[in-house]
Amino acid sequence: MDRTTQLTARRTDLTGPVRTSGSPLAPGAGEIVRSAPDASEPDVYDAAAYPAASVRTAGPVRTAGPARSAASLHLRAARVLADNWTGASTVPSRGLYPHQWSWDSAFISIGLRHLSPLRAQTELETLLGAQWGDGRIPHIVFNPSVPLDAYFPSPDFWRSSTAGRAAGAPRTVQTSGIVQPPVHALAAWLVHLSDPGLSRSRGFLSRVYPHLAAWHRYLLHRRDLGGGGLVSVVHPWEQGMDNSPTWDEPLSRVTPAPARSFRRADLDHGAAEDRPTDLDYGRYVRLATDYRDGEYADGRGEFAVEDPAFNALLIASEHALARIACELGAAGTARHTRAERLTAALVDRLWDPAEGMFFCRDVRTGDLVPERSVAGLIPLLLPALPRDIAAALVRTACGPHFGLGDTTRLVPSYDLTGEAFDPHRYWRGPAWFNTNWLLERGLRLHGERGRADALRDAALRTADTSGFAEYVDPYTGEACGALGFSWTAALALDLLHEPHEPHELDEPLGHGVSPMGIGTFRHE
């Protein structure tokens, strides 16, 4: 989410759901029809519904303070998601982020599946109901019951229904015009696995598949701005890791918007030293304004960057779409092949063997951006990654730049030795739970079970002791940002319940298919 744009101090009432009915569908997509949770379904957040025996973990979660049981952690995480539930989707944080964010909802659904598969399905369906006609999934779906002055950039800044008309923006739902990382197909597949019977009875996968396929087509066809097969982001907010030092060099070419043309609401909620500079914020606003005024046409702006994390998540979701296609009776071979081709392009364009990690490529200059970000480790998630590259990524994660298993509790968002490192400044050093969840999966996938177990325990312990904070100091685990943050609670639930090993719901599709259903184990 665009962490660089915060809310005003007003606390908003989110009792009404986001209205997404009547949104134009992506080409070839089936209509998304959401069902309200069945009245016969028990309250998924009721403590009585989850006795301790139902939590599939061994022993108590280890914390810095008195030991608290896994069941207790489950219930407190579930309460965060209950408090942030609006009736159709989950806000990241009631006080700070009162709308629906794209990749937040994907991660939230992964945790919600352990509470209510139906609500997890609804979370994704609500988001997909706001998809644009060209296939893009907007990074914010605005709740019409929230006052305009409660958040900036607000719906009247993005003007999606008018400025986005040529791109097929919905008429009945207000959204932003930019996107976020494509975690959605992976989330949909994991949600399906949590209750295949319910998923099949509701036709969940058959209804979301056309939307997800259109989303991937948009990225692959409209966003290959570098011509090398990878997707480019056109705004730092799209990659999700706002204010990362990775963006400093590409942003330096952007003329900032005049300070008088916008109000920095983010400073109402955070110290200036923890926020982007006025200069950088003006550049963020300029990029978004120019994109809007260009009717959200791609390829015209000054900022275009191929990011390893964004592309790795697209590849993982391509593998997941292949699994969904097979579940629906179609062949998934072409999607697996495309995912492997994208993996090869990722290695060819963004891998630096001397540094042992992936870097962003500035499409406008053609150069790699020499900043070590956690984004450069996320491709560890990919099953077809060459064995030597996976081993090098593990060494880099455990080395002095990120300190995994040594100097840090959780993997930081930026190089510990970098000049721009700051343990509390957004995406310039703090540790985030979604990136650590992705790395835990990657470590486990590539046989690093001991390191994966240690990272899982550290993430659970830190989520617990920080009050499910938005992000934390990577050294101390000190809570930063919003408390009761939805994806922190959701991903803690997933780590608590899901051992990320083969289990009865992972039906093999044939030779070489990953037990977690996101790709193949063939290493080249």
Mean pLDDT of 466-495: 96
pLDDT-based confidence at 36, cuts 50/70/90? Answer: very low
Token pair in block for residue 212: 């997800």
Give CA–CA dist 383/28, Å, rounded: 30
- Reported confidence tier of residue 22, pLDDT bands at 50, 70, 90: very low
- pTM value > 0.75: yes
Question: Is pLDDT above 80 for 27?
Answer: no
**470 in active site:** yes
Q: How far is CA 467 from the centre of its chain?
A: 20
Among 274, 295, 121, CA closest to 198: 121
Backbone Cα Rg of the chain: 21
Q: State the CB neighbour count (10 A cutoff) for residue 157.
A: 18
Q: What span, in angstroms and rounded, lies between the C-alpha atoms of 19 and 89?
A: 10
Concatenate the DSSP letters of all residues of 49-105 into one string: GS-GGGS--SSPBP-SSS-B-HHHHHHHHHHHHHHTB-SSSB-SBTTTB-SEEHHHH
Question: Which segment of 23-37, 363-377, 438-452, 477-491 scores lowest on mean pLDDT?
Answer: 23-37
Helix (H, G, I), strand (E, B) or coil at 431: strand
Rounded distance, CA 105 to CA 322, Å? 21
Residue 473's SS3 state is: coil
The yes-or-no verdict on residue 40 having pLDDT over 80 is no
Give me the catalytic one of 104, 327, 470, 473: 470
> Which stretches of 368-470 are DSSP H helices?
387-398, 433-445, 449-465
The answer to whether the CB of 121 falls within 8 A of the CB of 204 is yes
Q: List, for residues 142-187, the tens digit of each pLDDT value.
A: 999 998 888 889 999 999 999 999 999 999 999 999 999 999 999 9
Q: What is the pLDDT of residue 95?
A: 79
Query: Of the listed 125, 134, 242, 280, which one is catalytic?
Result: 242
Which are the contacts of 375, defined by CB distance < 8 A and separation ≥ 6?
239, 241, 244, 246, 307, 308, 309, 310, 358, 360
Report residue 327 as tokens.
């579940």
* The two structure tokens encoding residue 310: 């964004």
Three-class DSSP category at 14: coil
User: Quick check: 119 and 47 in contact, CB under 8 A?
Assistant: no
Q: Give the pLDDT mean for 3-30.
A: 33
CA 259/CA 110 separation, integer angstroms: 40
Task: Report pLDDT for 139.
Answer: 98
Work out whether strand 431-432 and strand 232-233 pair parallel, antiparallel, or are unpaired.
unpaired
Q: What is the DSSP letter of 363?
A: T
**Contact assessment for residue 26 and residue 132, using Cβ atoms and an 8 Å cutoff:** yes
Q: Reply yes or no on whether the pLDDT at 317 is more than 90.
A: yes
Residue with tokens 């939307």: 211
In this predicted structure, what is the pLDDT of residue 182?
A: 98
Q: What is the pLDDT of residue 262?
A: 64
242 tagged catalytic? yes
Average confidence (pLDDT) over 213-241? 97
Residue 433 near residue 488, CB atoms below 8 Å: yes
Spatial neighbors of 39 by CB under 8 A, at least 6 apart, are none
- C-alpha torsion sign, points 18, 22, 25, 31: positive
The C-alpha atoms of residue 433 and residue 2 are separated, in whole angstroms, by: 16
Q: How far apart are CA 70 and CA 464, in angstroms?
A: 10
Provide the token pair at 290: 């120019």
Going from the C-alpha of 225 to that of each of 38, 220, 231, 364, 483, the distances in angstroms are 45, 10, 7, 9, 38
Whether the per-residue pLDDT at 53 is higher than 80: the answer is no
Residue 499: pLDDT above 70?
Answer: no
Q: What is the pLDDT of residue 48?
A: 36
User: Three-state DSSP class for 350?
Assistant: helix
- Average pLDDT estimate for 83-91: 96
Average pLDDT, the chain: 84
What is the rounded distance in angstroms from the CA atom of residue 209 to the CA atom of residue 212?
5
Number of C-beta neighbours around residue 24 at 10 A: 16
* Nearest alpha-carbon partner for 458 in 494, 411, 394: 411
> What's the CA gap between 380 and 439, in Å, rounded?
7
